[in-house]
């Protein structure tokens, strides 16, 4: 049985106001072709289908058109989708019954029945192989907010299950990345609740699963050991939570398909526990990720092979310069090198560009000048980032015990300048400051 694992699509995403719709449509068309060409049996989508809880209509349309095309192209395909922290569980689940008719299963939330037992029909999903026989059980675990977790535990009226065995998962040692987060969360009721919920769900999965069938997990969250990309993920699981330990997922899982971190990665050195990453870059730093989808080939209960395919990129994300920062004149010269505006190129296909300038001295209006210089280039400006080259020192310049009142206004001005820029203020700037000070103190011209 062949699984295709993807996540973090963020349909409806915009980058500083620039639509990503064309890029998403391009990815989804590629995905349909790939599912057919690679004979995929199961598509797992690990959350953050949409970028916001209330996606705009074109995003909904893209989603449903994709599902329609997918099922027409490969009718036997099964699709399992969970809600991520960006999704509205209720909205994602609203067409659940309809989509289940087409073997598209949506898990947006977790609830208990009147008897206190977890309602697992939408969480434990039998996966069929090409012959139509059940080959695996997928535990689909939607993103849970802290209030969801606390409402679900402790389970009333049923015996609490034993905690999941740790398997061979290893928690980080002190000093390792995230070790503090795990230590802080070690006695957290939220984490205890997550452990109990996972244990209960996996116990139910084992009860349902027959010998020879694999156990597969689908989840969305920040797991310890994951490397964050810089900007576009929130480090929260809910409330003030930071990270979840890998041992939420028992050792008998053949494959754990994760969503939330946008950089593709395996966790804790385990090939079978991984984030697929997002298919398109959702922030400028993510332009360097190797965006891909992951394939997990199962043979009976075990994982036979994990492999991946790069997602072709429709729209380049450019940074001027590629690394570091340029002073204003050099930045403007670098912009001159960019290709001229192509009238035949659709707006949504123009490369997105970020310009990074360093300012050893003030350069008023540099943002506007850069934007003007880019106007006849075949790019869309995401932002101009200004790198200041001063001491960035708020306190050190003022020796301990020094009263601000003991400094003259000009001394304060010079120190403040040095925080952002190199050296001392240029003579014209200092002269302008003195004139301004004179006007303020002695009532000069209005």
Helix (H, G, I), strand (E, B) or coil at 339: coil
Per-position b or e across 170-203, b if 16+ CB within 10 A of its CB: ebbeeeeebeebbeebeebebbbbbbbbbbbbbe
Q: Is residue 283 part of the contact set for Mn ion (CB under 5 A)?
A: no
Phi-psi region of 295 (alpha: psi -120 to 50; beta: other; left: phi over 0): beta
The alpha-helical segments, DSSP class H, found in 209-244 are: none
Taking the complex as a whole, how short is the minimal distance between the CB of residue 311 and Mn ion, in angstroms? 18
Q: Is residue 85 part of the contact set for Mn ion (CB under 5 A)?
A: yes
Helix (H, G, I), strand (E, B) or coil at 64: helix
Query: Which of 172/226 has CB closer to Mn ion?
Result: 226
- The window from 81-89, 237-245, 250-258, 355-363 that contacts Mn ion (CB under 5 A) reads 81-89
- The window from 83-91, 101-109, 132-140, 329-337 that contacts Mn ion (CB under 5 A) reads 83-91
Q: Give residues 23-52 in contact with Mn ion (rule: CB under 5 A).
A: 48
* Strand extents, DSSP E, 210-312: 214-220, 255-259, 265-267, 270-275, 292-299, 302-310
Residue 20 CA to residue 11 CA, distance in Å, equals 8
- The window from 78-86, 156-164, 172-180, 305-313 that contacts Mn ion (CB under 5 A) reads 78-86
Q: Is residue 263 part of the contact set for Mn ion (CB under 5 A)?
A: no
Taking the complex as a whole, how short is the minimal distance between the CB of residue 61 and Mn ion, in angstroms? 22
Q: Is residue 260 part of the contact set for Mn ion (CB under 5 A)?
A: yes
Q: Is residue 84 part of the contact set for Mn ion (CB under 5 A)?
A: yes
The radius of gyration of the chain's CA atoms, rounded to the nearest angstrom, is 27
Nearest residue to Mn ion on Cβ basis: 260
Query: Which of 281/425 has CB closer to Mn ion?
Result: 281
Query: Which of 26/262 has CB closer to Mn ion?
Result: 262
Contact in structure between 439 and 445 (CB atoms under 8 Å) = yes
Q: Is residue 146 part of the contact set for Mn ion (CB under 5 A)?
A: no
Query: Which of 66/275 has CB closer to Mn ion?
Result: 275
Number of residues that bind Mn ion (CB under 5 A): 4
Helix (H, G, I), strand (E, B) or coil at 10: coil
Q: Is residue 421 part of the contact set for Mn ion (CB under 5 A)?
A: no
Residues that bind Mn ion (CB under 5 A): 48, 84-85, 260
């Amino acid at each position: 049985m062949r699984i295709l694992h993807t996540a973090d699509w963020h349909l409806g995403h915009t980058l500083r106001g620039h639509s990503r719709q064309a890029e998403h449509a391009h990815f989804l068309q590629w995905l349909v072709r790939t599912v057919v060409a690679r004979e995929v049996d199961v598509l797992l989508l690990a959350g953050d289908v949409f970028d916001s809880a209330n996606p705009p209509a074109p995003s909904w349309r893209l989603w449903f058109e994709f599902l329609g095309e997918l099922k027409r192209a490969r009718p036997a395909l099964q699709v399992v989708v969970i809600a991520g922290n960006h999704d509205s569980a209720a909205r994602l689940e609203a067409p659940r019954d309809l989509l289940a008719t087409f073997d598209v299963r949506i898990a947006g939330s977790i609830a208990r029945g009147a008897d206190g037992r977890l309602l697992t029909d939408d969480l434990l999903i039998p996966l069929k192989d090409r012959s139509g026989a059940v080959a695996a059980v997928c535990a689909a675990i939607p993103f849970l907010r802290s209030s969801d977790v606390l409402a679900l535990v402790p389970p009333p009226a049923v015996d609490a299950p034993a905690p999941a065995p740790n398997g061979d998962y290893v928690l980080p040692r002190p000093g390792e990345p995230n070790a503090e987060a795990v230590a802080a969360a070690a006695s957290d009721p939220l984490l205890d609740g997550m452990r109990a919920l996972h244990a209960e769900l996996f116990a139910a999965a084992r009860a349902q699963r027959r010998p020879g069938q694999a156990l597969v997990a689908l989840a969305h969250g920040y797991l310890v050991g994951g490397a964050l990309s810089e900007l576009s993920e929130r480090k929260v699981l809910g409330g003030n939570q930071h990270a979840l330990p890998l041992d939420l997922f028992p050792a008998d899982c053949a494959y754990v398909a994760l969503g939330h971190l946008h950089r593709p990665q395996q966790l804790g050195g385990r090939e079978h526990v991984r984030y697929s990453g997002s298919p398109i870059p959702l922030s400028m730093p993510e332009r360097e990720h190797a965006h891909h989808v992951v394939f997990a080939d199962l043979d009976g209960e075990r994982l036979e092979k994990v492999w991946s395919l790069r997602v072709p990129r429709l729209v380049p994300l450019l940074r001027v310069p590629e690394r570091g920062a340029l002073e204003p004149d050099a930045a403007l010269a670098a912009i001159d090198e960019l290709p001229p505006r192509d009238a035949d190129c659709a707006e949504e296909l123009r490369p997105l560009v970020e310009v990074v300038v360093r300012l050893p001295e003030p350069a008023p209006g540099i943002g506007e000048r850069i934007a003007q210089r880019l106007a006849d280039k075949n790019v869309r400006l995401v932002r101009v980032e200004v790198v200041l080259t001063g001491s960035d020192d708020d306190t050190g310049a003022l020796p301990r015990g020094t009263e601000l009142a003991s400094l003259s206004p000009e001394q304060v001005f010079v120190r403040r300048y040095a925080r952002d820029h190199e050296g001392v203020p240029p003579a014209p700037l200092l002269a302008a400051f003195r004139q301004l000070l004179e006007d303020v103190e002695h009532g000069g011209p209005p």
